[in-house]
């Protein structure tokens, strides 16, 4: 059965409707990316899936006993809170040392166990968050803009890591990203969200859908060109036209 099933989900948030009538299901092992402009309800949708938001109508069903790993958009650890990476990975459930080390290895940061969380670089921090999500052998990973604050090579490396994790463990991935060209290349399915589901399907289908083009455009700087890796165009004409 599906890992996550969302049926007719509407969420009201601060007196406004953030999502209306969203249907969605995630199957085992697939990588699904949610794209959409700012304020389109991407994070709201993910927060509803983890149970942080109550639906105004519709519902979210998780496979009974679903093991999920969640990587939040931003995690601020107050500098007054001393905590090592190893201790952080053991929250809230004491995971054995071996499992924590394996998770760090899988997330590509094997040597950070005894470091303080406050001393990590942005990229290390995100990978530690990924490692924590991987503990307990999740059936699905939920990532909310997990590469925020990383530079382009850093985020590309991060997404390669996600693909490697999926290949190794077979877990499904539901993620949100702004970096269309990177994530669309890695996704099995893309969902374009703008308060409701505008369009969905394979990356190529979504990239050519009129709803998607209306939101993101089709210019040479757009995601479509990058996704197809067209290198036969001239970047300078954009600036010349301005």
Partner 1 sequence: MDLLGDFMTRATLAGMGVALAAAPLGSFVVWRRMAYFGDATAHAAMLGVALSLAFGMSIFAGALVVAFTMALTVNALTGRGYAMDTLLGVMAHSALAFGLVAVSFLSGVRIDLMAYLFGDILAVSRLDLAVIWGGAAVVAGLIAWRWSALLTATLNADLAYASGIDPRREQLVLTVALAVTVAVAIKVVGVLLIAAMLIIPAAAARPLARSPEAMAVIAGAIGAGSAIVGLRAAFVLDTPAGPTIVCCAALAFAGTSLWRRAPLG
Q: Which residues contact partner 1 by CB under 8 A? A: 47, 50-52, 68-70, 72, 75-84, 87-88, 91-94, 116, 118, 142
Nearer to partner 1, 132 or 166 (CB): 132
User: In which residue are the tokens 């995100």 written?
Assistant: 126
Task: State the nearest-atom distance from the C-beta of 123 to partner 1, in Å.
Answer: 19
Q: Rounded CA gap, 89 and 72, in Å?
A: 14
Nearer to partner 1, 79 or 98 (CB): 79
Task: State the nearest-atom distance from the C-beta of 75 to partner 1, in Å.
Answer: 5
Task: State the nearest-atom distance from the C-beta of 70 to partner 1, in Å.
Answer: 3
Nearer to partner 1, 69 or 203 (CB): 69
Task: State the nearest-atom distance from the C-beta of 109 to partner 1, in Å.
Answer: 18
Nearer to partner 1, 104 or 224 (CB): 104
Reading the block at residue 82, the tokens are 């001393």
Nearer to partner 1, 100 or 181 (CB): 100
Task: State the nearest-atom distance from the C-beta of 166 to partner 1, in Å.
Answer: 19
Q: Rounded CA gap, 16 and 242, in Å?
A: 37
């Amino acid at each position: 059965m599906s890992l996550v099933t969302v049926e007719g989900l509407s969420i009201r948030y601060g007196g406004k409707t953030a999502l209306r009538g969203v249907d969605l299901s995630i199957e085992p092992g697939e990588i699904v990316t949610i794209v959409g402009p700012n304020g389109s309800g991407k994070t709201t949708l993910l927060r509803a899936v983890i149970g942080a938001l109550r639906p105004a109508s519709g519902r979210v069903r998780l496979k009974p006993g679903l093991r999920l790993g969640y990587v939040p958009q931003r995690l601020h650890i107050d500098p007054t809170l001393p905590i090592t990476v190893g201790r952080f990975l053991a929250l809230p459930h004491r995971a054995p040392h071996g499992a924590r080390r394996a998770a760090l290895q899988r997330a590509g940061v094997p040597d950070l166990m005894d470091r303080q969380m406050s001393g990590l670089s942005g990229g290390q921090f995100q990978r530690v968050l990924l490692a924590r999500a991987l503990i307990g052998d999740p059936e699905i990973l939920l990532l909310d803009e997990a590469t925020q604050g990383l530079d382009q090579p850093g985020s590309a490396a991060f997404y390669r890591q996600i693909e490697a994790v999926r290949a190794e463990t077979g877990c499904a991935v539901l993620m949100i990203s702004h970096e269309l060209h990177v994530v669309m290349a890695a996704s099995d399915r893309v969902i374009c969200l703008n308060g409701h589901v505008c369009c969905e399907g394979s990356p190529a289908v979504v990239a050519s859908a009129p709803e998607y083009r209306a939101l993101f455009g089709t210019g040479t700087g757009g995601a479509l060109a990058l996704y197809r890796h067209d290198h036969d165009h001239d970047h300078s004409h954009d600036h010349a036209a301005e």
